[in-house]
Amino acid sequence: MIKIGLLGCGNVGHIIARHAEGFRISAVFDMIPDRAQELAAISHATPYSDFDEFLRADVDLIVEAASVAAVWLYGEAILRAGKDLVVLSGGALADDEFKSRLVETARAAGRKIRVPSGAVTGLDNLKIGQISPLGTLLLRTTKSPGSLGLQPTERMEIFKGAASDCIKQYPKNINVAVALGLAAGKEADVELWVDPDVERNIHEIFAEGEFGDIYIRVRNVPSPENLSTSYMAALSILTLLKNLDNPLVVGT
């Protein structure tokens, strides 16, 4: 059975612990020791508050469920320690220099970096853009104003441009766009809207190329324990982990 380490013991970490199947959580790390202790008790894992000790734990891969900053701070060290890395905070890879360095570190160490589909679907088919380049790749995200600290009375667009520019203004709202770009081999354009009439985050994906065109619309249910986290994003990690050992691979 695959043994994993959890980097980050917040809401997503708890969802993974409650639904662990086909893998075992052996080690957990958090900058706040009490959070690591709490999740360790639930998952029967060893808690760590010292990152270097966490790296020496007997695990096959480490799942980042913390933040973009955590990927920047710990990602390379994890790979150099001989662990595969699952990155939930894909926005960290919007920095091309860091992404290249992380990939080269993984290649040199013979390890893998895995990015789950997160809060959207369709990443598998968008990979055709790596073979037949896409002419259009657009992500239109609509959120409730309160989630961004705004109070408009009607639907309004607050950003339009490239994903690499969006992350400078809205760093917590770019993980999906970066994942799309990584899959398709093309930076996504982003439209970010707020609408006082919506209760769920809505992601609309528009892609067009020689193959034809794609339109995908996802309305995400938030995690019950943390309304700022997509439940689907947490489930996508569980799906990835459950199928790591499966000899039958579905999708590209």
| DSSP at 187 | P
Binding annotation for NAD(+): 119, 175
Residue 209's DSSP bridge partners are 212
Residue 7: count of CB within 10 angstroms of its CB: 29
Q: Which tokens in the block code for residue 227? A: 């309304």
Q: What angle do CA 32, 38, 39 make, to 5 degrees?
A: 95
Asked if residues 195 and 155 have their Cβ atoms less than 8 Å apart, the reply is yes
Regarding beta strands 84-87 and 156-162, do their DSSP bridges make them parallel or antiparallel, or are they unpaired?
Answer: unpaired
Q: Which tokens in the block code for residue 46? A: 């060893």
Binding annotation: 119, 175
What secondary structure, in 3-state letters, does 129-176 show? HHCCCCCEEEEEEEECHHHHCCCCCCCEEEEEEEHHHHHHHCHHHCHH
- 238, 249, 248, 242: which is closest to 65 by C-alpha? 238
Q: Which tokens in the block code for residue 241? A: 């982990």
Q: Any idea which residues carry the catalytic annotation?
A: 203
